Amino acid sequence: MSGSVTPPERPLVHVYDAAYAGVPNWDIGRPQRAFVRLLDAGLVRSPVLDVGCGTGELSLLLARQGYDVLGVDLSPLAIRQATEKARWRRISAQFLVWDALDLSRFRAAGLSFQTVVDSAMFHVLGDHERDLFVAGLGDVVRPGGLYCVLGDARAGEGEIYGLTPDELRTRFENAGGWEVAFEFRTVFERRWSSNPAYFVGVQRQ
């Protein structure tokens, strides 16, 4: 399914393409440790959707472990780099340029997932975008499936950047049919620093 067909692009496409022309601070050359622990705990089930996959390190780890993985990202340059990594490492992960706010179109194509992993995508979305994304997850996550998100902890009241477990609980409860399965404090690692973060799993009922 690798490719570069995308729904009408958002302005952020150019921002992320510019970032991936170099090496973004958030691209540490390996998956975040929280997702390695998730894998070790046996909580990942195929098929897996990796939203905001960037250059694909998390998707590639999961595919190397035998999971059926599709990584999606707004940035054509990031997807090109992820596809090249998969080819050179001989790993059968699939990558597609796609807007994670348009997940419902996957349902129309007959695609659904047991696990959705999100390494620092949700925490950059705006308020309305977060509701759109949660609605889209409801269309593509199978009953019993798990959405797992890592993101920077929100710094203060009134801010939208970052996330909190309470916010996720409220948004998913409002959407209906979801329940928080786990939540814990951790860190989000960057190339030269790390931030306080939350890792939260929400299960489809």
Q: What is the mean pLDDT of residues 154-179?
A: 95
Predicted local distance difference test score (pLDDT) of residue 187: 98
As given in the structure block, the two tokens for residue 78 are: 């990031």
Q: What is the mean pLDDT of residues 138-145?
A: 98
72-103: per-residue pLDDT in tens? 999 999 999 999 999 999 999 999 999 999 99
Predicted TM-score of the model (pTM): 0.93
Determine how β-strand 48-51 pairs with β-strand 141-152: unpaired
Pick the more confident residue, 195 or 15: 195
Query: Dihedral sign, CA of 154, 202, 187, 16?
Result: negative
Q: What is the mean pLDDT of residues 142-161?
A: 95
Q: Which CATH number fits domain 12-189: 3.40.190.10, 3.40.50.150, 3.40.640.10, 3.40.50.2000?
A: 3.40.50.150
- What is the domain partition of the chain in residue ranges? 12-189
**CB neighbours of residue 15 within 10 Å:** 12
